[in-house]
């Protein structure tokens, strides 16, 4: 389980000059890819660390790009029929090239669920 708050700050202080990867791993910000290898979730770690230090990142909406634009959470089907999500969203979710998703079709929605992940996560 990933550490937060005072526990996270204590772990970072305890490990001192350990590598960034070792800090993220020791704090529990690790997930397992479909192929069994581990992925270190640096973004989630740094967000939790900032929050533990009292730095508020807002109410969950991400500022993106050089102009500080906000994500619109709207996608448009392109002329060739493809639906492009965009780099800002994949970066916000800490997705990496090669990550796989199952496509779940609802009545009026499309849900992307990480392959091998739980369907009820949001």
115 half-sphere exposure, CB direction, 13 A CA radius: 9
Whether the pLDDT of residue 121 is over 50: the answer is no
49-74: average pLDDT: 66
Whether the pLDDT of residue 64 is over 60: the answer is no
The model's pTM? 0.46
Comparing 64 with 90, the larger pLDDT belongs to: 90
Spatial separation of the C-alpha atoms in residues 88 and 20, rounded to whole Å: 24
- The CATH class for the domain spanning 70-122 reads mainly beta
Give me the chain's average pLDDT, please.
81
pLDDT band at 105 (very low <50, low <70, confident <90, very high): very high
Domain parsing of the chain, residue ranges: 1-55, 70-122
Element spanning 111, H or E: strand 110-114
CA separation, residue 97 to residues 14, 53, 89, 94, 100 (Å): 33, 31, 13, 10, 9
CA separation, residue 52 to residues 38, 55, 106 (Å): 25, 7, 38
Whether the pLDDT of residue 2 is over 60: the answer is yes
pLDDT band at 80 (very low <50, low <70, confident <90, very high): very high
Print burial letters for 11-31: b (CB count within 10 Å at least 16), e (below 16). ebeeeeeeeeeebbeebbbee
pLDDT for residue 67 = 54
């Amino acid at each position: 389980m990933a550490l937060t708050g005072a526990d996270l700050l204590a772990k970072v202080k305890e490990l001192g000059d350990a590598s960034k990867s070792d800090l993220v791993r020791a704090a529990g910000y690790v997930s397992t890819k479909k192929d069994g290898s581990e992925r270190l979730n640096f973004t989630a770690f740094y967000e939790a660390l900032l929050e533990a230090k009292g730095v508020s990142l807002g109410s969950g909406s991400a500022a993106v790009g050089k102009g500080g634009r906000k994500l619109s959470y709207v996608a448009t089907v392109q002329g060739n029929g493809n639906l492009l999500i965009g780099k800002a969203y994949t970066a916000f979710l800490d997705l990496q090239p090669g990550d796989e998703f199952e496509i779940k079709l609802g009545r009026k929605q499309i849900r992307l669920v990480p392959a091998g992940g739980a369907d009820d996560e949001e």
